[in-house]
Every structure is written in structure tokens, then in C-alpha cells.
Amino acid sequence: MAFCGCQESIGFYETLESPRCKGCGGECTVETKHVFVTGQTLYQAGCKECGFFTDWTSEKEMAIEQLKNGEACRREVNLLLFPSDYFDSSIVDADMQKEYAAAMETGLFDVILFDYDAWFNNGRLRLNKSLDIMRRAIYRGWMMKPEQYESFYKALLQSNIRLVTKPEEYNALHLFPNVYEKLGEHTARIMTFPLHEKIDVELLKKSFKRFMVKDYVKSVKGTEFPVYFDETITQEEFDRWMEVFYKYRGELLTGGVCIKEYLDLKRYDGRTNEYRVFYANGHRISCERNSGQMATAPELPLLFEWPSVCQLDYPHLGSPFYTVDFAELADGSWKVIETGDGGVSGLSDGQDIGAFYRSLYWAFHGDS
């Protein structure tokens, strides 16, 4: 066994009796590798000849099972999946039109549309094209609740589409408490509670000088709900506000309640200084101003060779495609304020969309 710079042992291969490769009819193998950073042993089944592989999994049997189920496909990702228009399933959702056009213009991707109304309102997957052979794809579109995304992923597999982001990876970044520990001191402190459980406000007041209320995905920004609470809030008032919170989140309520330390953000001309960074396949593919701040506001330090540069870069948070949002605090330091799944996070105003899709393509091209 040899070692490479990425701290993985280069795998060894075991030849399988069956099945034969779906791509070229050749022999398939199971590759085993050890990742020293995490101490994991991972398995992947597939064909070295033409490059049809399953995902890496923690169990050998699972890799072989995936291969038998026809879930192997080429590593490269050159297929995008967008929601269609609500009324016309043959055209892309108006909100995704610019991205669709820019992605097509790169000449790097094929695009498949799924029927918005059939999926979001009836849970039925209808695609505008069918595939003969399994292909990996990237989803760009609306947020889904975890259970809805899992159904989506499974239904797509039946149609020979394997999303690069598995359901557990979607949840890893879409639900902030899942990623919280990995960010350590570089994000606001949080406490989590089950939905609809009475929360002891005295405990919150002891833990935080000021705090805000969210569920595992979002707050109820833009409503009369307070931006933050402080030591003046009483239990009775807080309980009443929580009723308001549940009312506003309604159907979208996800995971549990997340109480978050309220951070004092720096403002320039009334605007906060926030950045959204997209990561794909371990690469930072874009880093954009995300709060309408003026161009003279300081840049996110990860763009410079500062000593802190590594601390503010998060290329490996447990999903192949995700976002990390950063904000400058009043004292000039920076913290992570949000994370999100890459498929359902919006691009920034004024972002070069073509450049984004080219970077996305190359991030998944040519390596694992």
C-alpha cells in the first residue's frame, strides 16, 4: 500500500465474479481505501476500464449492492436538475431561468427538468427526459424538508439519476445544528430544543446576553417577531412569542428549535458585511458579497494570506456541495453565521453565474 499527499492510502482492488460492468461489459472490482484523517475504511465498487463507480461507502457489501442495483456511474458530473415552471413542465422555473441559461451557455452541462407541480404538490417525479444509464447530477432549486429530499433522491435513482449530495449529506449542512460542532468557536453559540417543548427562558438568559430564535433551517425574519431577546424578556412573554414563531414557520418548521447567540454585526452605511462561499467536491468555487454592502467594505479574510486564512476556510464539512455564510462582527473579526446545502442556496446578487457553473463543473471533473 502506498501513501499520497491527501493522507489516504491508495486503495487495493479485489476482482468481483459478478456483476459485469454496465458501461463496457468488463470485470468489476471493489476498491478499499483508508482515510487517515478520519480513521475510516471506505469501499467503492466499479469498473477501472471505463470508470463506472458507485459512491464510497463504509461497508463493502453496500458498495457491491449498489453496483448490482445499477447505481454505478461515471465520476464526472455534467448533468443539472432544475424545477420546471409551475404551469408548464417543459420550461424551467422562472426563478431559475438565469441560472439555466448561464449553465447552458457554458456548454459543459446537460439539463433535465422535473415537473414542479407534480413533485412539490403531489410527490410524483416527472422528468422531461429519460436516461438509459446512471448519471450523477447536481440539483439546483427550491429547499426541501429532509424527508422530502430523501424521497426525491430515491425517486431519481429509479430514473437513473444519482444526485451528488446524498440525503444525509443534505441534512448535514441544511440543518445547522448538525454542522455546529465542526465550526467550533468560529460561529455563534447555540442551544437546541425539541419542537413544541416549553423552553426555560431563565436558562437562556443565563447562557446568552442576547439570543435569537430559529428552527434548524430558518428564522422568521421580516415579521414582527423580535430580532433578538435579552434579559428583559419574561417567561410568559417568551411563551407567547414562541406561539407566534410556530405560526409563522407553519408547514416549513424543520428539525427543532435552535436558540442562537445574537451577534453584533458591523454595518457600513446601514448594511451588514456578509459573504457567501460555495464549496464543491472539496474546492471553494465562489466567494461573493451577499448583503448588498458597498465595494469598499473589507473583504472576507480567507481571500488573503492572513495567518487566520485556514481557520476561515471550510472545504470539508461532510457534503460534496454546500455554502458557508460569513459576517464581519462589530469588533472587526469574522464568524460563520449560516451554512446551507449547495443545491438550495441562492447565488448572490450580481454574481457571475457563468463563472459559477464553470467552477462547479471543474470541481467535479477529473478527481474523486
Match 488573503 to its residue by C-alpha cell.
304
Strands (E), the chain: 12-15, 29-35, 40-47, 52-53, 73-74, 79-83, 110-114, 135-139, 161-163, 190-193, 211-215, 257-261, 267-268, 271-272, 274-280, 283-289, 321-328, 334-341
Report if residue 24 touches Zn ion, rule: CB under 5 A.
yes
The nearer residue to Zn ion, 48 or 60, going by C-beta atoms, is 48
Gyration radius of the chain's alpha carbons: 22
Shortest separation between residue 146's beta carbon and Zn ion, angstroms: 34
Strands (E), 194-297: 211-215, 257-261, 267-268, 271-272, 274-280, 283-289
Chain positions 28 to 67 lying near Zn ion, rule: CB under 5 A, are 47, 49-50
Residues 109-148 as x/- pattern, contact with Zn ion by CB under 5 A: ----------------------------------------
Match 457571475 to its residue by C-alpha cell.
352
Report if residue 195 touches Zn ion, rule: CB under 5 A.
no
Q: How many residues bind Zn ion (CB under 5 A)?
A: 7
Shortest separation between residue 326's beta carbon and Zn ion, angstroms: 43
Among 11, 16, 21, 169, binds Zn ion (CB under 5 A): 21
Shortest separation between residue 182's beta carbon and Zn ion, angstroms: 37
Among 23, 167, 320, 342, binds Zn ion (CB under 5 A): 23
Which of 342, 197, 214 shows the shortest CA–CA distance to 276? 342
- 3-state SS of the chain: helix, strand, coil percent to 5? 30, 25, 45
334-341 vs 321-328, strand pairing mode: antiparallel
Among 7, 20, 26, 247, binds Zn ion (CB under 5 A): 26
The nearer residue to Zn ion, 8 or 49, going by C-beta atoms, is 49
Contact region for Zn ion (CB under 5 A) — 24-32, 81-89, 102-110, 305-313?
Answer: 24-32
The nearer residue to Zn ion, 21 or 220, going by C-beta atoms, is 21
Binding site for Zn ion (CB under 5 A): 21, 23-24, 26, 47, 49-50
